Amino acid sequence: MEARVGMSAGHGGVVDGSARKFLQQQQQQHSHQQPQPQPVPQIGTVPQLLAGGIAGAFSKTCTAPLARLTILFQVQGMHADVAVLSKPSIGREALRIVNEEGFRAFWKGNLVTIAHRLPYTAVNFYAYEQYKSVMSCLLKSFLGQGGRSVNASGDIFVHFVGGGLAGITAASATYPLDLVRTRLAAQRSAIYYRGIGHALQTICRDEGVFGLYKGLGATLLGVGPSIAISFSVYESLRSYWRSQRPNDSAVMVSLACGSFSGIASSTATFPLDLVRRRMQLEGAGGRARVYKTGLFGTFGHIMRSEGLRGLYRGILPEYYKVVPGVGIVFMTYETLKKLLSDLPSF
C-alpha cells in the first residue's frame, strides 16, 4: 500500500496502509475470559497521531531500497518494448542503480516518502480508531446488546470496514505527495523533477492541478481492500495468539502478525497497485500517454501486452519489503504507545 503499507502497502502498504491497529477495547472487554495479559496502554489523540506517523516513516526508511526496486519493476513495460524486456532480477537492477546512480539512489524519493507517510500513517491510525469506535457503537445498538461486546463475526466486520474507511481517508488526504513520490522514485539517470517543490510546480504547470490526482480512482479502489485486509488479518491473528499464548512478548506478536497481514493484503491488491503506479506516471516528464481508457482500459492493455504475469511485475521485492516493513510498523507503533501512555490526553 504502499505497504503500502503498501503498507504497501502501501500498498501499501502498505500501508501501508501502509500504516492500523490494536484490540484495545476487545482485549479489555474479554479480559475476564483470558489469563491476565499485560494491559493495553491508553494514549491521547496527539500521542496516538505521533506514534502512528513515526512508525510509518521509520518503516518506509528501512525498506526504501526494496520499495524503489518494486516501483522500477512495476513500470518497466510502460514505455519499453515488452518483447525485449528481460526477466526482472533484483540483483541485476540493484547493481545497475549502484553503477549508474550511486548507492544513495536507493533512497531516491525517500524524503517525500516520509513527508507523505507521516501524515498518511497518522491519519490512518487515528481514523481507524475513530471509525472502529463509531461502528462498534452502531453495531451494538443495531443488535440491541446495550453495553455488551459484539460477537466475533461483528468484531471482524468492524475491523475490516473500519480499516478500509481509514485507508481511503488517509489516501485521499495525502494523494498529491504519493504521486510525487512515485515520479521521483521512478526517475533513473535522467532527472526531470529536482525535488518535492519542483515536482509539484512542474506537474501543475504541465498537466494542471488535476495532474496531481492521476490514478486516484485506482488508489482508492486498492487502498480500501488493502488496509481492510491488513487490519482484519492482523487483528484476528493477534486476538487468537493472545488467547492461546497470553504471556508471549507483545512486540514479537505484533511483528509476526503484522508481517502475515502485509503478505495477505499485498498479494490480494498488487495488480491494482501496479495499475496505480503506471497511471501516476502518465505524461510524466513530457512523455506521451500510454493508457487512454481509464482504470479498466489500463488493466486490459497490460493483460493484452504483458499477460497475467505483467500485473504482478515486481511482486518479489514487494514481498521482501512488506514482511519487515509492515512488521516494523506494528511493532514500532505498539512500542511508542507504551512509551507515550503516561502523557496527558488531548
With CA atoms as reference, report the closest residue to 125 among 196, 246, 21.
Answer: 21
Q: Distance of alpha carbon 78 from its chain centroid, rounded?
A: 23
- With H, G, I as helix, E, B as strand and everything else as coil, classify residue 336: helix
> CB of 185 within 8 A of CB of 68?
yes
| HSE value, Cβ hemisphere, 13 Å, CA-based, for 60 | 42
Instruction: Name which residue leads in pLDDT, 100 or 42.
Output: 100
* pLDDT tens column, 18-73: 334 433 433 343 444 444 444 545 667 777 778 877 887 888 899 999 999 999 99
pLDDT of residue 260: 86
Q: Give residue 46's pLDDT.
A: 74
Confidence of residue 116 (pLDDT cuts 50, 70, 90): confident
Q: Where are the alpha helices (DSSP H) in 63-151?
A: 64-74, 90-101, 110-143
DSSP secondary structure letter of residue 345: P
Among 44-48, 82-86, 186-190, 222-226, the least confident range: 82-86
pTM of the model: 0.71
Higher pLDDT, residue 310 or 24? 310
pLDDT at 81: 53
Mean predicted confidence (pLDDT) in 122-143: 83
253: nearest Cα among 236, 266, 265, 267: 236
Q: How many residues does the chain have?
A: 346
Q: What does each C-alpha distance from 324 to 3, 62, 173, 249 come to in angstroms? A: 10, 9, 26, 18
Rounded CA gap, 163 and 19, in Å?
A: 10
Distance (Å) of CA 285 to CA 9, 68, 193: 26, 18, 8
Instruction: Please give the pLDDT value at position 14.
Output: 38
Confidence of residue 345 (pLDDT cuts 50, 70, 90): low
CA dihedral in degrees (318, 321, 323, 328; nearest 10)?
-140
Contact yes or no for 46/36 (Cβ under 8 A): no
Chain segment 155-179, per-residue pLDDT in tens: 777 877 887 788 888 888 899 998 9
Mean per-residue pLDDT, 331-339:
83
Q: pLDDT confidence of 203, banded at 50, 70, 90?
A: very high
Q: What grid cell was written down for 137?
A: 457503537
Which pLDDT belongs to residue 202?
93
* Mean pLDDT across the chain: 78
What does the block give as the cell for 46?
Answer: 496527539
Candidate from 20-24, 89-93, 106-110, 193-197 with smallest mean pLDDT: 20-24
> H or E stretch including 23?
none
Q: Is the pLDDT of residue 3 over 70?
A: no
β-sheet bridge partners, residue 2: 4
Burial of 214 (0-12, 13-18, 19+ CB in 10 A): buried
Q: Give 170-188 as a DSSP string.
A: HHHHHHHHHHHHHHHHH--
81-85, 206-210, 276-280: least confidently modelled range: 81-85
Q: Residue 106 — very low, low, confident or very high, per pLDDT cuts 50/70/90?
A: very high
**Alpha-carbon distance 253 to 276, whole Å?**
32
Model pLDDT for residues 231-265, shown as the tens digit of each residue: 788 888 989 999 999 888 887 887 788 788 888 88
* Dihedral pair phi/psi, residue 2, rounded to 5°: 35, 30
pLDDT of 12: 44
Q: Is 13 helix (H, G, I), strand (E, B) or coil?
A: coil
Q: Which of 21, 7, 12, 5 is nearest to 334 (CA)?
A: 21
